[in-house]
């Protein structure tokens, strides 16, 4: 099991688990909350078949990576990503994030630059800034995030179930685009998250990425469903063309937050087309 060490907590190393397969231009896939690198199971085969080297990893606190008590902020997440890219000595890489993982892509490019990166893809993005403030009236009130933290702290399994129901729009897509088995598979991934990570990551959703976005100097693709209940299109993806120099926006009709799974063929077509362009 390949791992890299990204820090220490007391006497133990903090290790990030990753998978590295194939050859060719590298594509790094960064999962969303509360899953793991396995969330990309419908993208990895398509990318390998297209001749890419594909790297997935589990964010700290999730999957098979270490579960420290600290480090659940985007500066640290981006530093973990930078350590991985440096360790593998990747060049001309395509960074692809889904949901919370889009924050890593954005903060990495804003802070570390694009020396190792050729392109970036934001799937169901969390930027630019979800928190409602006087200079960001499009955001959502802080009380919503506080309520999420309270619910996750009080009963993490119940919180996860409700979150995953909205992740898939399970009430409307069950039996058509989402099977009970797919929902259960996501649940199995979600329960690998530490209780600390499950709660500590929620406040990071209010991170302000508006200073990072103008620093991005590589072509970017945004893919999002117009039925996304977790990160609504009008509060996220539709705002990004005004904030990124070179960006394309692809909107998937009826797509929920979980489009890498529910609309995998459309996501893969857009992703591969962008990489080849």
As annotated, the active-site residues are: 99, 228, 257
The CA distance from 32 to 35, in Å, is: 6
Q: Give, in order, the Cα–Cα distances in Å from 265 to each of 92, 163, 239, 260, 270.
A: 25, 24, 25, 8, 9
3-state secondary structure at position 53: strand
The CA distance from 117 to 182, in Å, is: 32
Q: Which letter, b or e, does each residue of 125-164 get, where b requires 16 or more Cβ atoms within 10 Å of its Cβ? A: bbbbbbbbeeebeebeeeeebeebeebbeeebeebbeebb
Cα 148 to its chain centre, rounded Å, is: 19
Q: For residue 185, what are the contacts with CB-CB under 8 A and spacing of at least 6?
A: none
- Which residue carries 């990204």 as its tokens? 6
Q: For residue 259, what are the contacts with CB-CB under 8 A and spacing of at least 6?
A: 123, 124, 223, 224, 225, 228, 252, 266, 267
């Amino acid at each position: 099991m390949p791992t890299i060490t990204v820090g220490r907590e007391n006497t133990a190393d903090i290790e990030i688990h990753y998978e590295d397969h194939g050859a060719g231009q590298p594509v790094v896939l960064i999962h969303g909350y509360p899953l793991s690198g396995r969330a990309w199971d419908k993208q990895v085969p398509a990318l390998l078949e297209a001749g890419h080297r594909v790297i997935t990893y589990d964010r700290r606190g999730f999957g098979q990576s270490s579960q420290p008590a600290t480090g659940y902020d985007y500066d640290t997440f981006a530093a973990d990503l930078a350590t991985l890219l440096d360790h593998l000595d990747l060049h001309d890489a395509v960074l692809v994030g889904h949901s919370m993982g889009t924050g890593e892509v954005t903060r990495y490019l804003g802070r570390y630059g694009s020396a190792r990166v050729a392109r970036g893809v934001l799937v169901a993005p969390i930027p630019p800034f979800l928190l409602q403030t006087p200079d960001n009236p499009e955001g959502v009130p802080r009380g919503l995030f506080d309520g999420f933290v309270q619910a996750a702290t009080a009963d993490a399994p119940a919180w996860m179930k409700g979150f995953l129901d909205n992740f898939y729009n399970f009430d409307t897509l069950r039996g058509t685009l989402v099977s009970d088995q797919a929902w259960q598979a996501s649940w199995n991934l979600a329960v690998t998250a530490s209780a600390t990570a499950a709660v500590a990551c929620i406040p990071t959703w209010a991170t302000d990425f508006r200073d990072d976005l103008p620093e991005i100097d590589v072509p970017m693709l945004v893919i999002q469903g117009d039925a996304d209940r977790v990160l609504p299109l009008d509060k996220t993806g539709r705002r990004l063309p005004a904030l990124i120099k070179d960006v394309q926006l692809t909107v998937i009709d009826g797509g929920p937050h979980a489009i890498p799974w529910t609309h995998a063929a459309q996501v893969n077509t857009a992703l591969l087309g962008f990489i080849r362009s």
